[in-house]
Structure 1
């Protein structure tokens, strides 16, 4: 069909974008959040009420004596003002017409809307939102009005297809038909005759109803007949601050719901990612989808309600509409002209106190999450009010809860917000109800920017759908009557004609003025009609010329714009090519660096493995070395202890033997002295007269017989010289001693001390260098107490001889014993000290640089 009345498509290039609030532009008008109050009927006649309705907008609340703060609070009644107060005998229809019907009208006009019910547990929120079998609630009535209005203008199924990014794609008739066939083959398009179990529902309690209902077709809203419409519904719940899809078929098969993520689309609108959107064509289908999700919603028994909602439910109706083309036949295949509006119906779970509900375990955790989400909603409202009242710019904590995060756009001016506060007037619920009233008063002070619609005017002729329908019907009738008219191109414009043919003018009588009069009258009509057509033609020509000039001007502007865009495009293409070159070079460098990194990592792993192997071998060697060292140390210690015991036993036996010899010698000396004194008188000669003094000296005894040879020396003291041992002849000035005193030595302070002119004292030997460092003699000093209790000091002396292995050995060749005896002893002696030096069995200790051995 060719239409001569269609307007130029100049506005079709207008981009689709939502109108937002901008401080730099003109201030948008704002509307307060409308809050409605609905009173629940008293369940039992014996219950007392603490509320009184003063007017259609005001409620008076009187604090009962059972209130928590009754003594501290004033006994005056508290008045709360609402947009509208619904008394307990109000009908569901009136509540819907007052609250939800304007939101449905905005939905059809392309505007968003949010409606949520708020109140304590058992106040009738779910009944207000859903209803029962006798009286439908807000949600079913919204669906009824939507389908009553668009029933004659719905698009075929799958023409609009969700793109999983909160938008919709427009498919052609062929693609939509293929998707419908796939749906029929998979059973998704099969009509369902679901028999839903009917049960009695208390209309005054929060419940989870399942019932059969019939659609209400009485209410209709005017729609644009030149658009096509499709309805999509989603149903989610917010449980323990997690979002779950109640319509997910995969979750039904898995018997567990998977939590979803709340994201932001390209237009800064919040949505639930990968949520199931079901396209419905009738009210029955929509309500069936709602019941399918309602059966999975979480409810539980509490002390205040037999079936209390344990989660926040969000049922969203999304209306997708797009205009028809200029002929009024097909949907425009352009995603930008699609208008998407949604109405979110939120049934909030009731706030509750655990001391009244007696919740424990899982119910207690659910109650905590419910109260936290409601507290976050209150906090957001308070901060919004403070920012609007005081002009502050505090950050609103939308992300603290999934409820406020999902509906952030509504409070930022993307739709109209309304709230129904459900109240139980019982005195027992006063403490919870008063908090609800305070929140409702504060919410009414929040201003929300009035959002504009998102529908585009493409400049097409209004009424083209019906005009095209009439034209097709007329053409079909014409084709039935005249088949040859099927190939005719018909223009619906104005048909220019001067009228019918000339009348017959047979002049039989020259005096017949009637023919001339009729001819004059006919010509005058043709002239008048011709003048009218000329005026109309001139007007159309003028209009056409203006339209042509306007189109030419637009064409010129478009050419200039096209040229600038081409230049910009070529410039961007050059930049893109340059950036592509840089990207390729960077990728090549990245690949090279990755290869180097991989090689370095391989080398590092190889070195680490080699290091680990060497560490293992080193640790094993150290373990073996420690084991061998411990073995030899144990062996050396055992041998040392054994030799010490043997040495001590030998020295003790030698000591006893020498003591016996000394006693025998002393007895012999006394006897000889006595004899000499008595017979020869040698004992009377004193040394002062310079005479000779007999000296009794002992010589080395026989080692075999154990006897000691005695000799009397009559020489003078001046002539006496000490007996020297030929084995120790050496220059004393050349000797360098190592005085080894391992322990604390008690000073004896006596005259008879060992003579070591050049000595170096040490307390501990750690290496052979401490012995061989310029020293040739070694002396080991030890002290002990003998059997008589006298202090005995032993000096083990020896020569230091270097070994071939770089170490040193000590050849012990002398043991000197110094004993200090008490002068009060029964045995009288000529001196207080007795020095004895004899040659005992020598021991050789060999010091090596690695380990000592005996």
Structure 2
């Protein structure tokens, strides 16, 4: 039997360089998994040796180079070979569990699944709902381990440059609130989109995650942890983000760029990196990206992966502060490790898959990327075995460019080769075997992550937890001083871990000596720090003891003084007690006097109330008598007013009769003058005088008025008025003083006004006008004059007032007047103190 790579020269031992820069390396571990036969009629061309590390391949007669093959059996050795009946759990424990342990301890890891299309790569990586694969089991172990040590969300935040920042609790809380308000609606739309795809028959239906791994690994309890995941695919030599939510809305994936960060590590720029808090949440994100991964139907596989998928788990950890409560706000103490799980697309030959068009282009890009991976591994092997320094073409493919750091010594690399043992797949399988055997000859430098030792006490998280529980218990018991208690853990009084492993490889190997020197120097520095801290604590303890002793002496002095003061206070208290007894006796006497005084006051108050009642009754009786007399006065007053009004009315009628008699006499005289006009000149002259008088003093019987100068009529000659329809306008200004006389001008129908504002107020149904005025005479007595006239319409349609009479009203005492005629007989009988004198002067 011979190896699958018969044309390759035998392995040479790797030459170790001399000097202090010797670096330990580990080979790439390659595992093989055989897929069960799909049909009972299929013929196998492989068998496994008894050591479970070697596969013996027998070329079938249908092989392409069957006739040229000399040896009919080819052997290929792996780190371990898994038979078809091996469970997913066993494969995980053997291959992936060590990588998970390295991830938690701060080391990187890379795991490939490689093989022909349809050989079971995706099943090995993902599995089924009843029997999950490597990726879900890795998530289970990680979250089982850090379940009690996770930070709250957004304490660690990606800085978009492949690193992480440490945020305060306030900023983290603001980010959580923003995610709560802004992220739910987007998630709902995306979930609806996925449900629609699944109902139409998606090739990758939703697979519920169930916990399949309950074990955990050792972890540093004084660190805070957070898990971030990314999921990308490399399709046609372009990198696409499968978790980008913007791409879901636009339905087109945007190509990403592979860049190098400040620590020379490769990463996908602007990739979506999501923090997860449980294995279920991480697996849900994986399912979300799995729906967008490109798969297609080929002749060899109904659901063939047409791209390389990379699911990366990044574990971020940082130590807690001295109190074991908050994460240290320093980016330098943050340790980031990652585990990349890569499901490579199947290697295939186009003459078997019958691909054309787009599928043929995809197969070409897949094969090119796999060939670039093989070329890079071959050049690495050649540089390591022969000591050459050839340039490794990492940049020829995005797959090798992205994982350049792993092959340069930034983590452990493992590969699972999935094999279909059917004789029909021999030609593709033998190429996979050759690639796997060559890969095992590549050695990767072992990474030793350096963690910054801050010198904090181990177990401070648990100590802080116990301290808080004890303090809360004391507070519940009603001891408020427990709130002021503080915990001080201090430094760790330990010189470090055990000595490094001393394994001599060569006599002149300086690596062990250098590592030992470095360890001893670190140990000496730690001892000096601890010694200084111990000396400081001793001095602090000594000062504390001296302070306590001094305080004790001061307290003794204070106690002695307090005792003396207490004795003196007791004497004062005894004296005060005697004084209090005397005061109480006096108080009792005063209380008796006070009670008697209160009783006397009550009696006096009762007497006062009785007198007030009697006085009120007298006032009520007086008020009733007063009201009775007021009623009688009011009755007598009304009776006198009625009698006075009656007498006044009689006097007014008497005066009107006298005025009427005088008017009759005047008219009789006028008639006599008219009748005797022609008797004699003397009588004629008298008649002329009387006519002139009548012309000047307008008689109410005449309708025509003539001016004194030119005797030209100024009124309408056709106007005639009826004396029986006279209506007066009584014009009395507001400034008149009321005289209160009994005798008043007689106007049967009148309208009283105080001010004339327009001619319509005179001509509106009135024919007589009376103006009232007041003035003082020579004796200083108030004299009222009434100017009377006729209202006549003018030829132009207006109106004019022609005054023809005046009355003068004057008040005087009736006892001072002399009675001059029989016309005034009735005045003696008027029971008033004033009377009105009436005159008719000429106008």
TM-score, normalising length: structure 1: 0.54
Taking the TM superposition and a 5 Å limit, the aligned residue runs for 1:463-502 are: 463-486=459-482, 488-490=484-486
**1:481 to 1:210, Cα distance in 2 relative to 1, 3 A:** closer
**1:490 to 1:194, Cα distance in 2 relative to 1, 3 A:** same
Per-residue CA deviation, residues 773-798 of structure 1 (Å, 9 max, x unaligned), is xxxxxxxxxxxxxxxxxxxxxxxxxx
Is 2:430 the counterpart of 1:434?
Answer: yes
Residue 376 of structure 1: SS of its match in structure 2? Answer: helix
Taking the TM superposition and a 5 Å limit, the aligned residue runs for 1:445-524 are: 445-486=441-482, 488-490=484-486
Q: Kindly state the Cα deviation for residue 453 of structure 1 after the two structures are TM-superposed.
A: 2.5
CA distance in 2, matches of 1:144, 1:190: 27
Query: Do the aligned residues in 2 keep the contact of 1:164 with 1:274 (CA within 8 Å)?
Result: yes
Name the residue aligned to 1:767.
none
CA distance in 1, matches of 2:92, 2:305: 22
Name the residue aligned to 1:31.
26
Per-residue CA deviation, residues 463-511 of structure 1 (Å, 9 max, x unaligned), is 00000111111111112223331453456689xxxxxxxxxxxxxxxxx
CA distance in 1, matches of 2:197, 2:324: 48
CA distance in 1, matches of 2:238, 2:531: 66
Residue 237 of structure 1: SS of its match in structure 2? Answer: strand
Taking the TM superposition and a 5 Å limit, the aligned residue runs for 1:344-423 are: 344-423=340-419
Query: Do the aligned residues in 2 keep the contact of 1:126 with 1:208 (CA within 8 Å)?
Result: no
Query: Do the aligned residues in 2 keep the contact of 1:34 with 1:417 (CA within 8 Å)?
Result: yes
Q: Kindly state the Cα deviation for residue 134 of structure 1 after the two structures are TM-superposed.
A: 1.6
Name the residue aligned to 1:839.
none
CA distance in 1, matches of 2:252, 2:300: 28
CA distance in 1, matches of 2:356, 2:177: 51
Q: Kindly state the Cα deviation for residue 191 of structure 1 after the two structures are TM-superposed.
A: 8.7
Taking the TM superposition and a 5 Å limit, the aligned residue runs for 1:340-739 are: 340-486=336-482, 488-490=484-486, 546=535
CA distance in 1, matches of 2:375, 2:306: 21
**1:84 to 1:486, Cα distance in 2 relative to 1, 3 A:** same
CA distance in 1, matches of 2:96, 2:486: 47
CA distance in 1, matches of 2:77, 2:389: 28
CA distance in 2, matches of 1:327, 1:226: 10
CA distance in 2, matches of 1:398, 1:408: 6
Name the residue aligned to 2:35.
40
**1:347 to 1:303, Cα distance in 2 relative to 1, 3 A:** same
Residue 345 of structure 2: SS of its match in structure 1? Answer: coil
Residue 360 of structure 2: SS of its match in structure 1? Answer: helix
CA distance in 2, matches of 1:282, 1:104: 16
CA distance in 2, matches of 1:22, 1:224: 35
Name the residue aligned to 1:263.
259
CA distance in 2, matches of 1:545, 1:108: 33
**1:149 to 1:24, Cα distance in 2 relative to 1, 3 A:** same
**1:492 to 1:178, Cα distance in 2 relative to 1, 3 A:** closer
Name the residue aligned to 1:154.
150
Query: Do the aligned residues in 1 keep the contact of 2:231 with 2:241 (CA within 8 Å)?
Result: yes
Name the residue aligned to 1:168.
164
Name the residue aligned to 1:187.
183
**1:542 to 1:460, Cα distance in 2 relative to 1, 3 A:** closer
What runs of 5+ residues in structure 1 fail to find an aligned partner? 1-20, 201-206, 495-539, 552-854
Query: Do the aligned residues in 1 keep the contact of 2:111 with 2:342 (CA within 8 Å)?
Result: yes
CA distance in 2, matches of 1:269, 1:208: 33
Residue 144 of structure 2: SS of its match in structure 1? Answer: helix
Query: Do the aligned residues in 1 keep the contact of 2:298 with 2:354 (CA within 8 Å)?
Result: yes
CA distance in 1, matches of 2:168, 2:353: 56
Q: Kindly state the Cα deviation for residue 384 of structure 1 after the two structures are TM-superposed.
A: 0.4
Query: Do the aligned residues in 2 keep the contact of 1:160 with 1:230 (CA within 8 Å)?
Result: yes
- Return the match for 2:140 from 144, 155, 161: 144
Per-residue CA deviation, residues 575-603 of structure 1 (Å, 9 max, x unaligned), is xxxxxxxxxxxxxxxxxxxxxxxxxxxxx
Residue 146 of structure 2: SS of its match in structure 1? Answer: helix
**1:208 to 1:379, Cα distance in 2 relative to 1, 3 A:** farther
Q: Kindly state the Cα deviation for residue 76 of structure 1 after the two structures are TM-superposed.
A: 2.0
CA distance in 2, matches of 1:53, 1:479: 69
Name the residue aligned to 2:775.
none
CA distance in 1, matches of 2:284, 2:465: 34
Name the residue aligned to 1:223.
219
- Return the match for 1:50 from 3, 23, 45: 45
- Counting matched residue pairs gives 480
Query: Do the aligned residues in 1 keep the contact of 2:457 with 2:489 (CA within 8 Å)?
Result: no
Name the residue aligned to 2:321.
325
Query: Do the aligned residues in 2 keep the contact of 1:339 with 1:454 (CA within 8 Å)?
Result: no
CA distance in 2, matches of 1:151, 1:78: 48
Per-residue CA deviation, residues 432-452 of structure 1 (Å, 9 max, x unaligned), is 110110111110010101111
Q: Kindly state the Cα deviation for residue 198 of structure 1 after the two structures are TM-superposed.
A: 13
Residue 60 of structure 1: SS of its match in structure 2? Answer: strand
**1:542 to 1:452, Cα distance in 2 relative to 1, 3 A:** closer
CA distance in 1, matches of 2:270, 2:19: 37
Per-residue CA deviation, residues 709-754 of structure 1 (Å, 9 max, x unaligned), is xxxxxxxxxxxxxxxxxxxxxxxxxxxxxxxxxxxxxxxxxxxxxx
CA distance in 2, matches of 1:439, 1:550: 68
CA distance in 1, matches of 2:353, 2:486: 76
**1:541 to 1:33, Cα distance in 2 relative to 1, 3 A:** closer
CA distance in 2, matches of 1:339, 1:541: 26
CA distance in 2, matches of 1:419, 1:545: 51
**1:544 to 1:144, Cα distance in 2 relative to 1, 3 A:** closer
Name the residue aligned to 2:210.
214
Per-residue CA deviation, residues 257-295 of structure 1 (Å, 9 max, x unaligned), is 000000000000000000000111011100100000000
Q: Kindly state the Cα deviation for residue 29 of structure 1 after the two structures are TM-superposed.
A: 1.3
Query: Do the aligned residues in 1 keep the contact of 2:137 with 2:213 (CA within 8 Å)?
Result: no
Q: Kindly state the Cα deviation for residue 355 of structure 1 after the two structures are TM-superposed.
A: 0.6
CA distance in 2, matches of 1:364, 1:27: 47
Name the residue aligned to 2:332.
336
Per-residue CA deviation, residues 519-564 of structure 1 (Å, 9 max, x unaligned), is xxxxxxxxxxxxxxxxxxxxx998756458999xxxxxxxxxxxxx
Name the residue aligned to 2:275.
279
Q: Kindly state the Cα deviation for residue 72 of structure 1 after the two structures are TM-superposed.
A: 1.0
Q: Which has the larger radius of gyration?
A: 2
Is 2:52 the counterpart of 1:63?
Answer: no
Per-residue CA deviation, residues 575-633 of structure 1 (Å, 9 max, x unaligned), is xxxxxxxxxxxxxxxxxxxxxxxxxxxxxxxxxxxxxxxxxxxxxxxxxxxxxxxxxxx
Name the residue aligned to 1:236.
232
Q: Kindly state the Cα deviation for residue 458 of structure 1 after the two structures are TM-superposed.
A: 1.5
CA distance in 1, matches of 2:244, 2:535: 58
Q: CA RMSD, aligned part only?
A: 2.7
Residue 164 of structure 1: SS of its match in structure 2? Answer: coil
Q: Kindly state the Cα deviation for residue 185 of structure 1 after the two structures are TM-superposed.
A: 0.7
Per-residue CA deviation, residues 160-208 of structure 1 (Å, 9 max, x unaligned), is 11000000010000000000010011034999796987999xxxxxx85
Name the residue aligned to 1:809.
none
Name the residue aligned to 1:313.
309
Taking the TM superposition and a 5 Å limit, the aligned residue runs for 1:792-831 are: none
Per-residue CA deviation, residues 332-383 of structure 1 (Å, 9 max, x unaligned), is 0011110100000000000111111000000000000000000000000100
Per-residue CA deviation, residues 636-682 of structure 1 (Å, 9 max, x unaligned), is xxxxxxxxxxxxxxxxxxxxxxxxxxxxxxxxxxxxxxxxxxxxxxx
**1:541 to 1:299, Cα distance in 2 relative to 1, 3 A:** closer
Query: Do the aligned residues in 2 keep the contact of 1:164 with 1:273 (CA within 8 Å)?
Result: yes
Q: Kindly state the Cα deviation for residue 213 of structure 1 after the two structures are TM-superposed.
A: 2.6
**1:239 to 1:487, Cα distance in 2 relative to 1, 3 A:** closer
Name the residue aligned to 2:249.
253
Residue 36 of structure 1: SS of its match in structure 2? Answer: strand
CA distance in 1, matches of 2:350, 2:424: 14
**1:544 to 1:235, Cα distance in 2 relative to 1, 3 A:** closer
Name the residue aligned to 2:99.
103
Residue 67 of structure 1: SS of its match in structure 2? Answer: coil
